[in-house]
């Protein structure tokens, strides 16, 4: 099981948000998240964390030198902001809102992260979110995220608000970006609640083109 996964049947079926957040708050940072930070090398500005949950990835970005905007529609996430209480104001912002309806802005972020959250939307909405992400990124900025694949257990229980993607469909979905890294996790494991399931997750790190090479990245890590 990918321990970094923030998705759980508890969150999806019973909306037991408090239990889910408690069980995932100490999970390791998502691999795509750490890859994106490495690609940016020492270029640190503002990052946006979509569906931030217990702020695991948000804390990682902050500790790496980013100013962080974290967004989640669940008000319970505010409980996990204690980490930022004595940090300088303005370097971390928690936004309680539905990111489908929230305006990300234009050319604002150097990094946008969407881990284990995009597939909890209809395909038509995922496409709209990806477009918003593209527009909100600065030239040369990075997008790290993942989507559920067609072999995932939850395909059998899918509802109209979930979406699943083949590797080919993911590549098409993010075709406006330059794909820096993409890989599949396809193994048996458990949910955050300890329930057995098969995970099929397509992870990726993609970059918005930068013709003028305004951002120096660690090219040694590309590929």
Per-residue pLDDT of the chain (223 residues; tens, 9 = 90+): 453 343 433 344 434 766 666 656 657 788 899 999 999 976 779 999 999 998 999 999 999 999 999 999 999 888 888 888 878 888 999 999 999 999 999 999 999 999 999 999 999 999 999 999 999 999 999 999 999 999 999 998 877 789 999 999 999 999 999 999 999 999 998 887 778 999 999 999 999 987 644 444 554 333 3
Residues 6+ apart with CB under 8 A from 101: none
Helix (H, G, I), strand (E, B) or coil at 16: coil
CA–CA separation, 70 vs 93, rounded Å?
A: 6
Q: The pTM is what? A: 0.85
Question: In which region does residue 80 sit, left (phi positive, over 0), alpha (psi from -120 to 50) or beta (all else)?
Answer: alpha
Domains of the chain are 9-221 (3.40.50.150)
CA–CA separation, 56 vs 4, rounded Å?
A: 10
Q: Do residues 154 and 203 lie in contact, with contact meaning Cβ atoms separated by under 8 Å?
A: no
Strands (E), 129-176: 137-148
CA–CA separation, 41 vs 213, rounded Å?
A: 14
Q: Which two tokens mark 67?
A: 């100013």
């Amino acid at each position: 099981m990918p321990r970094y996964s923030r998705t759980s049947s508890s969150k999806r079926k019973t909306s037991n948000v408090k239990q889910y957040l408690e069980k995932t708050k100490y999970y390791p940072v998502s691999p795509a998240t750490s890859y994106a930070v490495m690609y940016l090398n020492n270029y640190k500005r503002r990052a946006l964390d979509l569906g931030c949950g217990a702020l695991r990835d948000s804390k990682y970005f902050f500790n790496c030198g980013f100013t962080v905007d974290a967004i989640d529609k669940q008000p319970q996430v505010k409980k996990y902001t204690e980490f930022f209480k004595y940090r300088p104001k303005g370097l971390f912002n928690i936004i309680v809102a539905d990111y489908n309806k929230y305006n990300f802005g234009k050319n604002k972020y150097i990094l946008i992260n969407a881990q284990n959250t995009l597939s909890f939307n209809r395909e038509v909405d995922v496409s709209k979110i990806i477009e918003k992400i593209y527009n909100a990124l600065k030239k040369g900025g990075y997008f790290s995220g993942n989507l559920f694949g067609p072999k995932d257990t939850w395909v059998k229980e899918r509802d109209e608000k979930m979406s699943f993607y083949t590797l080919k469909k993911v590549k098409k979905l993010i075709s406006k970006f330059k794909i820096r890294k993409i890989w599949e996790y396809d193994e048996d494991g458990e949910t955050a609640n300890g329930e057995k399931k098969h995970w099929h997750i397509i992870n990726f790190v993609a970059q918005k083109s930068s013709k003028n090479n305004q951002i120096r990245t660690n090219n040694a890590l590309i590929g």
